Amino acid sequence: MTVANTTSQKISSWNRQTYQRLQLALSLGLRRQLFVAVCDDLNLRNRLASKLHAELGTTSVTEPRETQDYPKLVSLNINLREPHPLRQIAQWFAHQRKSEHPCWQPGFQILGVERLMEQTPEVQRLFLRNLQASERYLLKLESTLLLWLPRPWFYNIQQSVPKFWQWHTGLFEFEGEPTPLPPVGAVKPETSSTPKRTYPATVPVSTKKATTVSFQEDLRKLLSEESVKLNQKALSLLPQLSEQQTNYQGNDLLWEMPQAKEDTLPMPLPEFPVDVTLSDNTTQESEELKPEEPIDAALTGDLVQQSSTETENSNLPFEEQLSHLKPVIDDVSLVDTYLELGNYYRHLIEQGDASRDNLQLALQAYEQALQWLTEGSNSIPGVVATNTPLSEILNDVGNLYWMLSRCPQPTVDLPESSSTISYLEQSIQSYQLALTKLIAAEVPHTYAMIQNNLGAAYGDLARHQEPTANLEESIKAYQEALRYRDEENDAIKYASTQNNLGTAYWNLAQEQSPVTNLQAAIAAYTEALSPYDLPSEQLEANDPLDQKQTTSHPGTSSLNWAMIQNNLGTAYWNLAQYEQPETFLDKAVVAYQAALKYRKPGVVPAACAATQNNLGTAYWHLADQLPDESEAKVEYLEQCIAVYEEAIALAQQLQQATPAVPVNFDLSTTHKNLGLAYYQLATQPQFSLTQETRLAHLHAALNQQVQAITTASAESNAYQSALGYIIKTIRAFYRENGITGQNLALSNIPGNLLPEILPQL
- What is the per-residue pLDDT for 216? 53
Cα separation of 694 and 361, whole Å?
63
Does residue 680 have a pLDDT over 50?
A: yes
DSSP 339-394: HHHHHHHHHHHHTT---HHHHHHHHHHHHHHHHHSPTT-SB-TT-SS---BHHHHH
- What is the per-residue pLDDT for 51? 83
Q: How confident is the model at residue 711 (pLDDT cuts 50, 70, 90)?
A: confident
Q: How confident is the model at residue 60 (pLDDT cuts 50, 70, 90)?
A: very low
- What is the per-residue pLDDT for 539? 46
Contacts 24+ apart (CB under 8 A), 242-245: 242/324, 242/325, 242/326, 245/197, 245/198, 245/311
- What is the per-residue pLDDT for 106? 84
- What is the per-residue pLDDT for 550? 53
- What is the per-residue pLDDT for 242? 32
Side chain identity at 71, as an amino acid letter?
P
Cα separation of 114 and 717, whole Å?
12
CA-wise closest residue to 680 among 732, 745, 720, 613: 732
Q: How far is CA 506 from CA 112, 361, 480, 570, 610, in A?
A: 18, 36, 18, 9, 18
- What is the per-residue pLDDT for 36? 93
By 3-state DSSP, what share of the chain in percent is helix, strand and coil, each rounded to 5? 55, 5, 40
Judge whether 109 and 138 are in contact, CB under 8 Å.
no
Domains of the chain, first to last = 13-173 (3.40.50), 205-602 (1.25.40.10), 612-760 (no CATH)
Per residue in 388-406, is it b (16+ CB within 10 Å) or e — as a string? bbbbbbbbbbbbbbbbbbb
DSSP 235-285: HTTS-B--TTSPPBPGGG--EE-------S-----SS-------SS-----
531-536 mean pLDDT: 67
Q: Looking at the DSSP assignment, which residues form a beta bridge with residue 444?
A: none
Count of CB atoms situated within 10 Å of the CB of 45:
21
Cβ-proximal residues to 562 (8 Å cutoff; 6+ apart), any chain: 554, 594, 595, 596, 597, 598, 599, 607, 611
Cα separation of 492 and 546, whole Å?
11
What pLDDT digit, counting tens, does each position of 466-503 carry? 999 999 999 999 999 999 998 888 888 999 999 999 99
What pLDDT digit, counting tens, does each position of 535-557 carry? 544 444 555 434 445 555 566 78
Cα separation of 720 and 326, whole Å?
66
Does residue 322 have a pLDDT over 50?
A: no
- What is the per-residue pLDDT for 68? 45
Cα separation of 237 and 224, whole Å?
16
110-120 mean pLDDT: 86
Write out 141-203 in H/E/C secondary structure. Answer: CCCEEEEEECHHHHHHHHHHCHHHHCCCCEEEECCCCCCCCCCCCCCCCCCCCCCECCCCCCC
The DSSP letter of residue 65 is G
Strand, helix or coil at 659?
coil
Does residue 130 have a pLDDT over 60?
A: yes
Would you call 64 exposed, middle or buried from its count of C-beta atoms within 10 A (0-12, 13-18, 19+)? Answer: exposed
Per cent of the chain over pLDDT 90 is 33
Does residue 309 have a pLDDT over 60?
A: no
CA-wise closest residue to 149 among 674, 720, 711, 705: 720
Angle at 493 between CA 385 and CA 430, to 5 degrees: 55
Strand, helix or coil at 326?
strand
Q: How confident is the model at residue 102 (pLDDT cuts 50, 70, 90)?
A: low
Count of CB atoms situated within 10 Å of the CB of 754:
11
- What is the per-residue pLDDT for 189? 77
- What is the per-residue pLDDT for 514? 92
Judge whether 229 and 171 are in contact, CB under 8 Å.
no
Signed CA dihedral, 478, 479, 480, 484: sign only: positive
Per residue in 242-278, is it b (16+ CB within 10 Å) or e — as a string? eeebebbebebbbbbbeebebeebbbbbbbbbbbbbb
What pLDDT digit, counting tens, does each position of 156-172 carry? 898 888 888 888 888 99
The answer to which of 1-5, 516-520, 568-572, 644-648 has the lowest mean pLDDT is: 1-5
Count of CB atoms situated within 10 Å of the CB of 752:
9
- What is the per-residue pLDDT for 198? 56
Strand, helix or coil at 133?
coil
Strand, helix or coil at 529?
helix
Judge whether 589 and 629 are in contact, CB under 8 Å.
no
Does residue 516 have a pLDDT over 80?
A: yes
304-330 mean pLDDT: 38
**How many CA atoms lie within 13 Å of 14's alpha carbon, on the beta-carbon side?**
13
Q: How far is CA 106 from CA 43, 73, 360, 380, in A?
A: 25, 6, 53, 63
Work out the mean pLDDT of the chain and round it to a whole number. Answer: 75
Cα 284 to chain centroid distance, Å, stands at: 7
What pLDDT digit, counting tens, does each position of 194-212 carry? 555 555 544 444 444 444 4
Per cent of the chain over pLDDT 70 is 69
Cα separation of 448 and 30, whole Å?
56
Contacts 24+ apart (CB under 8 A), 164-168: 164/131, 164/132, 164/134, 164/135, 167/34, 167/135, 167/138, 168/34, 168/35, 168/36
Output 427 or 379, whichever has higher pLDDT. 427
The answer to which of 43-57, 176-190, 578-592, 713-727 has the lowest mean pLDDT is: 176-190
Q: How confident is the model at residue 525 (pLDDT cuts 50, 70, 90)?
A: very high
Q: Looking at the DSSP assignment, which residues form a beta bridge with residue 77?
A: 111
Range ranked top by mean pLDDT from 320-334, 377-391, 552-566? 552-566
What pLDDT digit, counting tens, does each position of 211-255 carry? 445 555 555 555 454 444 434 433 343 333 333 333 333 333 223
- What is the per-residue pLDDT for 480? 97
- What is the per-residue pLDDT for 219? 52
The answer to which of 81-95, 364-378, 513-527 has the lowest mean pLDDT is: 364-378
Most distant CA atoms of the chain, gap in Å: 92
Judge whether 576 and 9 are in contact, CB under 8 Å.
no
Q: How confident is the model at residue 100 (pLDDT cuts 50, 70, 90)?
A: low
Cβ-proximal residues to 239 (8 Å cutoff; 6+ apart), any chain: 322, 325, 326, 328
Q: Element (H or E) spanning 590, and its range?
A: helix 581-595
The answer to which of 245-254, 627-636, 689-698, 738-747 has the lowest mean pLDDT is: 245-254
Does residue 37 have a pLDDT over 90?
A: yes
CA-wise closest residue to 421 among 467, 366, 362, 452: 467
Angle in degrees, 0-180, between the axes of helices 416-436 and 390-405, rounded to the nearest 10: 170
Q: How confident is the model at residue 734 (pLDDT cuts 50, 70, 90)?
A: very high
Cα separation of 335 and 329, whole Å?
14
